[in-house]
Structure 1
Amino acid sequence: MDAVLFDMFGVVAMDQSPTVREAMVEYSGHGHDAFWAAYWAPRKDYDRGDLDGPAYWQAVGGLLGTAFSPDRVERLLSLDLESWSRLNEESVELVSELADARVPLGLLSNIPPELAARFEERHARLLELFPVLGLSCRIGHAKPEADAYRWCLERMGAAGEVLFVDDNRSNVEAARALGLRGHVFTSVPELRRALGRP
Structure 2
Amino acid sequence: MPTDRHIVLFDLFGVIARHQRPGALAKMAARCHAPTEAFTTAYWACRPPYDAGRQSAPEYWTAVLRSLSVDADADTIEELRLADIDSWSRVDNRMVAYVQSLRQPLRAVTEVALLSNIPADHADAFLAAQPWLHTLDHVAFSGKIKAAKPSPAAFHHCAIAMRAAPADFLFVDDREENVRAAQAVGMNGHVFTARDELAAAIDTWLPTRRPTWK
Letter paired with 1:46: Y
Q: Which runs of 5+ in 2 are unaligned?
A: 204-211
Q: CA deviation at 1:144?
A: 0.8
Superposed CA deviations along residues 120-165 of structure 1, whole A, max 9, x for unmatched, are 2111x22123211111111111111101100101222345541111
1:113 corresponds in structure 2 to: 120
Which has the greater radius of gyration?
2
Counterpart pick for 1:135 among 132, 141, 152: 141
For 2:154 and 2:52, how far apart are their aligned partners in 1? 10
For 1:28 and 1:15, how far apart are their aligned partners in 2? 23
Counterpart pick for 1:103 among 110, 123, 126: 110
For 1:103 and 1:13, how far apart are their aligned partners in 2? 22
The alignment's TM-score, normalised by the length of structure 2, stands at: 0.86
2:27 corresponds in structure 1 to: 23
Q: CA deviation at 1:102?
A: 4.5
Partner SS, residue 67 of structure 2:
helix
Q: Which runs of 5+ in 1 are unaligned?
A: none
Q: How does 1:87-102 map to 2 (within 5 A)?
A: 87-100=91-104, 101-102=108-109
Q: Does 1:5 align with 2:15?
A: no
The answer (yes or no) to whether the contact 1:6–1:165 under 8 Å persists in 2 is yes
Superposed CA deviations along residues 147-189 of structure 1, whole A, max 9, x for unmatched, are 1100101222345541111111111111111111111112212
Partner SS, residue 139 of structure 2:
strand
For 1:54 and 1:32, how far apart are their aligned partners in 2? 21
The answer (yes or no) to whether the contact 1:95–1:129 under 8 Å persists in 2 is no
2:65 corresponds in structure 1 to: 61
1:71 corresponds in structure 2 to: 75
Q: Does 1:52 align with 2:59?
A: no
Partner SS, residue 128 of structure 1:
helix
Which stretches of structure 1, 4 residues or longer, exceed 6 Å deviation after superposition? Answer: none
For 2:135 and 2:109, how far apart are their aligned partners in 1? 10
Q: CA deviation at 1:103?
A: 2.6
Q: Does 1:178 align with 2:182?
A: no
Letter paired with 1:145: S
Letter paired with 2:92: N
The answer (yes or no) to whether the contact 1:99–1:129 under 8 Å persists in 2 is no
